[in-house]
Structure 1
Amino acid sequence: MENLNLPTYSFKLKFDLQRKLIFDSIRKKYVVLTPEEWVRQNFIRYLVEEKGYPDSLIAVEKKVDVNLLPQRSDIVFYNKNANPVIIVECKSTKIKITQEVFNQIARYNMKLRVPFLVVTNGLRHFCCYMDYEKQSFQFMEDIPNYQEIKNL
């Protein structure tokens, strides 16, 4: 798989029916290794190993109903009170981060109303802080560490 703009991690890989699979430590199962899944698995490791997020508070492909249609958010991180605080939308490295990608995560956030939105294609990462009181958002220099958001 492609090199990403993230630290290098090792993963459990295997083949099944001529498909390459990667072990998802959050879902506790092997999943098909697509380019988007490669970004998702690496970003999960980044959140856990570099940013200190407890993997027990992460959900992968979390169902979110948007306008009565079921959607799946790539990564949702919850605080210790089981409230969602970060949504991460992962794309393949071949997908450019465009307004449409931000629109997609914004639709998920209409339901979840989290303080932080993250979009990544493995090469570029964007993080926004949502200020609901002021009805505004602010791009951040970096993705916050768990210690910075654990009490939200």
Structure 2
Amino acid sequence: MDLLQPLNLPPYPFRLNEEEGRLYIFDELRKKKLLLTPEEWVRQHFVQYLITEKGYPKMLIKLEGGLRVNHMPRRTDIVIHNRNGEKILLVECKAPGVTITQKVFDQVARYNTVHQVPLMAVSNGLQHYYCKINVSSKTYTFIEDLPAYQATV
């Protein structure tokens, strides 16, 4: 699969470089270069989409944070906080070749038992799904579009 596959997200001028036959992308938030995988390509695009199109502040975005689910270590792709430090959005990114199935939603729902966020997004870069979460009733409702940051505060 082409690592630089066009996605259903706006293009961004990423800093890419090749070393010893491997392609790297510079992560602006973590301030380091990362091996470019199809999933990382989606994650970096989605982060830029959140910042530039939806107005989510860079300083409130946490990438690949650790958590424990059923005593097992896991990593969430993107978690966004509000200015009070409360988690407001959980994003799960998959490679473009990965079909978004119920299994993927179940994975994110398990993560959300820890995070307890009111908004969730799942994307493979080609398809994006957004949900409002009712944490107390453990239900979710699909929504058409992800709200801008200002609408969440």
TM range (shorter): over 0.9
Matching residue of 2:127: 124
Alignment of 1:44-123 (within 5 A): 44-123=47-126
Matching residue of 2:9: 6
Cα deviation per residue 1:19-55 (whole Å; 9 max; x = unaligned)? 1100011111000000000000000000000000001
User: What is the SS of the residue equivalent to 1:20?
Assistant: strand
Count of matched residue pairs: 150
RMSD over aligned Cα atoms? 1.0
Matching residue of 1:145: 148
Stretch of structure 1 that moved more, 14-23 or 102-111: 14-23
Identity of aligned residues (%): 47
TM-score (norm 2): 0.95
2: CA distance, partners of 1:134 / 1:35: 35
Do the aligned partners of residues 92 and 79 (structure 1) sit closer, same or farther apart at CA in structure 2, a change above 3 Å counting?
same
TM-score (norm 1): 0.95
Matching residue of 2:28: 25
Correspondence 1:16 to 2:19? yes
Runs of 4+ with >4 A deviation: none
Question: Tell me, which stretches of 5 or more residues in structure 2 are unaligned?
Answer: none
Question: Tell me, which stretches of 5 or more residues in structure 1 are unaligned?
Answer: none
Amino acid at match of 2:143: M
Stretch of structure 1 that moved more, 117-126 or 130-139: 130-139
Cα deviation per residue 1:91-122 (whole Å; 9 max; x = unaligned)? 01100000111011111101010001110000
